[in-house]
Every structure is written in structure tokens, then in C-alpha cells.
């Protein structure tokens, strides 16, 4: 039996591998089980309004702090139509709210006049906030989610700022989607077969200068596989300027800044 010894703990690696294998077998039977782990009291969603999984055609309203309090700018208010029937993205997830809140705190200069692309937008929440901050935004997801995303753009009157497009991870990015200055992704790590697809799309869309904010809720040990793949092409660090970090860390949510690794040229 191999054991990995760190200063503070001894981890039995063979047991960890067994747990990951079990996780993978259960995922194959029920790929979305981590998103509705209602037996686990530590997995309750505390940050967004209660949304029963049977939700269909409901509206919620979310308020984010003023992006420029010194100029007495008003708080950003987003109304979201929710509908779980097209898929898990049709409701609002806690990582999306954490990321929305953070970009608002970064202020208008963060997004203003920049091209912003959100991956796996679901309802579109994060991208709508980026649009309200003045970014030229593309919110993207798989085809079944596009209707609810379009509705939410219209409800929030953000048609001049937010475009909606189909973008399936792992497929070639459509040529009409511009190269982004900023990439946003919230709660996109939950289905292991999609891990390499998501990393490929992040890689195709980015360069070393691209700012990538990646908000992630840890749900299971197999997520390590995602980060093992990510490490081949990206570096990352936790954001250290979010005053809310301690509170969402208690919900196992991390907000990371990803940077594409420098390509090593062939000489
Ligand atoms: C848990 S939801 C998060 C939605 C939203 N970002 C939020 O925080 O509320 C994950 C999203 O990823 C999208 N997704 C999953 N696999 C995908 C793929 N292969 N290509 C594009 N989007 C995908 C889903 O449709 C869903 O909207």
C-alpha cells in the first residue's frame, strides 16, 4: 500500500483511488447526482434563493453591490427566469452568484468595453452582470439552454451588450464568436466526461493575456482529475481581493484566476 506523507497528514492513496473509482462508476449511472446531493447537509445551497428542482417558469431577482459607490452608481439588479426543464443550467447555482458578485466588486473598469465570454452560462446570470457593467458579452451554452438565456437578456434589457450563442465544449468555437479579453465560468466542473472538453475549449479561446475567472464548487474527489488536465495548460491562483471569500469558502466554493501557460516554442 502506497502512502503519501505530507507534513500535516498521511493520505492513503490506494483508498483515495478506490473512492474516485467508485465516484466514476456512480457518475456513469447518474451523471448529475452531484448537483442534487440533497442527503448531504454540507451541500445545501445557501447563497441563492431556494429553487426547487421542479422549478419551471419562475422568476427571481438578485441584487449586486454598486460597481462605483464613490460615484453613487446604483446597485445592479438582475431578474432571472428559471426553468429546470432544459437542463441543470436552467436554475441559478451558487458559484454563479459568487462570480457575479466578485466582478461587480471589481467595478465598471473591469468589463467596460472589453470582450467577455461566459462558458456554460445556464440562465446567463454572470454574463448579464458583465453586460450591466458595460462589457461586450457573449453568453454561451448548449442548444437547450439558449431560449432561457435569450429571455433573460430581454427581461433585463441588455440586448445592446449581451449576445447569446451555442458553444459546445470540445467543438470548434464558431468563427463569429470574437476572441475574448475575459473568460468567465461558474460551476462548470461536475461531469467527468466533459472535463477534457472544457479544458480544450478554454485553451482554444485563450492566450497568456486572457483573464480567466473560474468559480468552482468542490463536490467530489474525482474533480482532481479536472485539475490534473487543467494543469497541463494553465496556472491558477485563488483570488485574494474578495472580501466575501471566507463565507463562500465555507460552502467549498473557490474563485480562481487561470492563466494560460507560455507555449514552449520548438527550436
Ligand atoms: C451547473 S450549471 C451552471 C450554470 C451557470 N454557470 C450558473 O452558475 O448558474 C453547468 C452548465 O454547464 C453547461 N454545460 C455542460 N456541459 C457542457 C458542454 N459540453 N458544452 C457547453 N456547456 C455545457 C450546462 O448546460 C449548464 O448550463
Burial status of residue 150 (CB atoms within 10 A of its CB: 0-12, 13-18, 19 or more): middle
Cα 196 to Cα 194: distance, rounded to the nearest angstrom: 6
| Residue bearing the CA closest to ligand 1, atom 12 | 120
H or E, element range at 91: none
Q: Is the CB of 146 under 6 A from ligand 1?
A: no
| Residue 38, pLDDT above cutoff 90 | no
Could you identify the residue written with the cell 434563493?
49
Whole-structure pTM over 0.75, yes or no?
yes
* The pLDDT value given to residue 103: 96
Q: How confident is the model at residue 51 (pLDDT cuts 50, 70, 90)?
A: low
Q: What is the pLDDT of residues 70-120, one digit of tens each?
A: 666 688 999 999 998 898 899 999 999 999 999 999 988 999 999 999 999
Q: Is the CB of 88 under 6 A from ligand 1?
A: yes
CB 229 within 8 A of CB 200: no
Instruction: Determine the distance separating the centroid of ligand 1 and the alpha carbon of 185, expressed in angstroms.
Output: 9
The share of the chain scoring above pLDDT 70, in percent, equals: 76
> Ligand 1, from 188, 198, 223, 248: best to mutate by most atoms within 8 Å of Cβ?
188
Q: What is the pLDDT of residues 199-213, one digit of tens each?
A: 999 999 999 999 999
Residue-by-residue DSSP string for 143-184: GGGHHHHHHHHHHTT-TTTEEEEE--TTSPPPTTSPPPSEEE
- 102 phi and psi, to 5 degrees? -65, -45
Q: Is the CB of 127 under 6 A from ligand 1?
A: no
Domain boundaries, the chain: 31-260
Q: Is the CB of 27 under 6 A from ligand 1?
A: no
CB 94 within 8 A of CB 253: yes
Listed ranges 33-42, 48-57, 256-265; the one with the highest mean pLDDT: 256-265
Cα 156 to Cα 131: distance, rounded to the nearest angstrom: 10
| Residue 222, pLDDT above cutoff 90 | no
Pick the CATH number of 31-260 from 3.30.360.10, 3.90.25.10, 3.40.50.150, 1.10.3720.10: 3.40.50.150
Amino acid at each position: 500500500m502506497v502512502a503519501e506523507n505530507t507534513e500535516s497528514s498521511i493520505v492513503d492513496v490506494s483508498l483515495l483511488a478506490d473512492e474516485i473509482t467508485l465516484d466514476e462508476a456512480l457518475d456513469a449511472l447518474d451523471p448529475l447526482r452531484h448537483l442534487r446531493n440533497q442527503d448531504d447537509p454540507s451541500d445545501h445551497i445557501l447563497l441563492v434563493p431556494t429553487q426547487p428542482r421542479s422549478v419551471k417558469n419562475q422568476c427571481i431577482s438578485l441584487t449586486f453591490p454598486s460597481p462605483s459607490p464613490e460615484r453613487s452608481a446604483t446597485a445592479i439588479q438582475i431578474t432571472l427566469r428559471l426553468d429546470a426543464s432544459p437542463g441543470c443550467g436552467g436554475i441559478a447555482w451558487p458559484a454563479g452568484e459568487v462570480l457575479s458578485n466578485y466582478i461587480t466588486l471589481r467595478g465598471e473598469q473591469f468589463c467596460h468595453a472589453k470582450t467577455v465570454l461566459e462558458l456554460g452560462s445556464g440562465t446567463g446570470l454572470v454574463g448579464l452582470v458583465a453586460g450591466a457593467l458595460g462589457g461586450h458579452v457573449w453568453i454561451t451554452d448548449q442548444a437547450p439552454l439558449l431560449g432561457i438565456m435569450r429571455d433573460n437578456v430581454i427581461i433585463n434589457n441588455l440586448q445592446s451588450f449581451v449576445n447569446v450563442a451555442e458553444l459546445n465544449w470540445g467543438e470548434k468555437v464558431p468563427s463569429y464568436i470574437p476572441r475574448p479579453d475575459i473568460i468567465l465560468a461558474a460551476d462548470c466542473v461536475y461531469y467527468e466526461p466533459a472535463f477534457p472538453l472544457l479544458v480544450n475549449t478554454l485553451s482554444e479561446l485563450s492566450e497568456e493575456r486572457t483573464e480567466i475567472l473560474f468559480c468552482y464548487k468542490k463536490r467530489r474527489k474525482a474533480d482532481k482529475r479536472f485539475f490534473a488536465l487543467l494543469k497541463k495548460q494553465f496556472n491558477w491562483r485563488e483570488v485574494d481581493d474578495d472580501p466575501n471569500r471566507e463565507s463562500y469558502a465555507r460552502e467549498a466554493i473557490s474563485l480562481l484566476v487561470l492563466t494560460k501557460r507560455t507555449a514552449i516554442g520548438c527550436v
